[in-house]
Amino acid sequence: MTDRTAIPDPHPLHHSMRQRRRDMSTIGLGAIAAVVLLFLYLPIVVLVIFSFNDNTVTTLPLKGFTLVWYQHLLANGEMLTAVGNSLHVASFATVLTILIGVPAAFALDRADFPGKNIFRRIVVLPLTLPGIITGISMLNLFRMLGFNLSLTTVILGHGTALVAIVVTQVYARLQRFNRRLEEASDDLGAKPWQTFFLVTLPNIRSALIGSGLLAFTLSFDEIPVTFFLTGRDNTLPMYIYSTLRRGITPEINAIGTIIVAVSLVIILMSVRLLRKDNEFDQ
């Protein structure tokens, strides 16, 4: 019997050309990816570098390395107040999105009601609309109801704009959830609330936390909705926006670097949790 593995390739030249084309395609795609990454992240790298630059003017050449701008940042009472306001808004807005988004996701997954398909599309509309449209519409609503603009109105605006994140992520997780686990819990005598907290919630926890972290990050950095709904109390993005009218200062670079670092950590945690859900299902 002839060993087929010993038969030489009848077209070695064609095989070599195909391999060369595949290699060139890989190199080309890698170069395109590198250019895209450079285009996206070069401004952030510049921001981080200038936050350590020993120069009051954001310009080249770099004079030296310093941490003095971070020290000035910690001594800036107005900026620290704005940071506290942003944390307050983002935290309560995230809680609001979870309180509204989780029941909405369960309604989409478990209930049949007239207009369900329309509701499924409308619920994600605030996320797809430009922030300026959401801000103006919420401003008109609050004025009609006689609400004074404050951090509370900002929280309501952020919750409205970001609730779709929780709805879509939790709904997608519920679609992959094995309902027989709940049936087994019911058969064993568990009450509905026990089944929810001991069976359902642990299985959607990663999607819930991941979407919550993402909503927190987007709320913390939100400007268009905040611009129309904020009152006397500034959030950090609004403080930075007002400060930039006088020019970019090293303190702005410093707080920007901190925001980038914290946002990156939160987003990576969110992606990791959502990926863990997918790996668990597989």
pLDDT digits (tens, 9 = 90+) for 165-219: 999 989 988 888 888 888 888 888 888 888 888 888 888 888 888 888 889 988 9
59/128 Cα distance (integer angstroms): 37
Count Cβ neighbours within 10 Å for each residue of 166-192 and write b for 16 or more, e otherwise: bbbbbbbbbeebeeeebeebeeeebee
| Dihedral angle computed from the Cα positions of residues 143, 242, 165 and 132, in that order, rounded to the nearest 10 degrees | 50
Q: Please indicate, yes or no, whether residues 35 and 76 belong to a single structural domain of this protein.
A: no
- Please name the residue that has the structure tokens 């020290």: 71
Instruction: Give the CB-side neighbour count of residue 249, counting CA atoms within 13 A.
Output: 18
Are residue 21 and residue 125 in the same domain, yes or no?
A: no
Q: Residue 63 domain-assigned?
A: no
Average pLDDT on 143-161 reads 90
pLDDT per residue over 68-102, tens digit each?
888 888 888 888 898 899 999 999 999 999 999 99
What confidence score (pLDDT) does residue 12 get? 60
Position 1 confidence tier, pLDDT thresholds 50, 70, 90: very low
Q: Is residue 57 part of a domain?
A: no
Indicate if 36 and 104 belong to the same structural domain: no
**For residue 78, what are its two tokens?**
């107005």
Any domain includes 1: no
Beta strands per DSSP E along 14-103: none
When computed from its CA atoms, the radius of gyration of the chain, rounded to whole angstroms, is 26
State the Cα–Cα distance between residues 253 and 261, nearest whole angstrom.
Answer: 12
For residues 131 and 169, the answer to whether their CB atoms sit within 8 Å is no
Local structure of 59: helix, strand or coil? coil
- Average pLDDT over every residue of 248-259: 81
Residue 3 maps to a domain = no
Residue 145 token pair: 């109801």
Query: Are residue 19 and residue 155 in the same domain, yes or no?
Result: no
**C-alpha–C-alpha distance, residues 33 and 83, integer Å:** 35
Assign residue 117 the CATH number of its domain.
Answer: 1.10.3720.10
Average of per-residue pLDDT across 22-35: 80
59 domain residue, yes or no = no
Contacts of 19 (CB under 8 A, 6+ apart): none
Residue 14: per-residue pLDDT: 61
Average pLDDT over residues 120-144: 85
In the 8-state DSSP scheme, what is residue 54?
A: S
Omega cis (within 30) before 61? yes
Instruction: For residues 172 and 84, state if they share a domain.
Output: yes
Per-residue CA distances from 271 to 118, 226, 275 (Å): 29, 26, 6
- Residue 159 and residue 28 share a domain: no
Within-domain flag for 214: yes
- Domain span at residue 45 reads 9-50
* Number of domains forming the structure of the chain: 2
Whether 199 is covered by a domain: the verdict is yes
d(CA 220, CA 86): 6
**What is the average pLDDT score of the chain?**
82
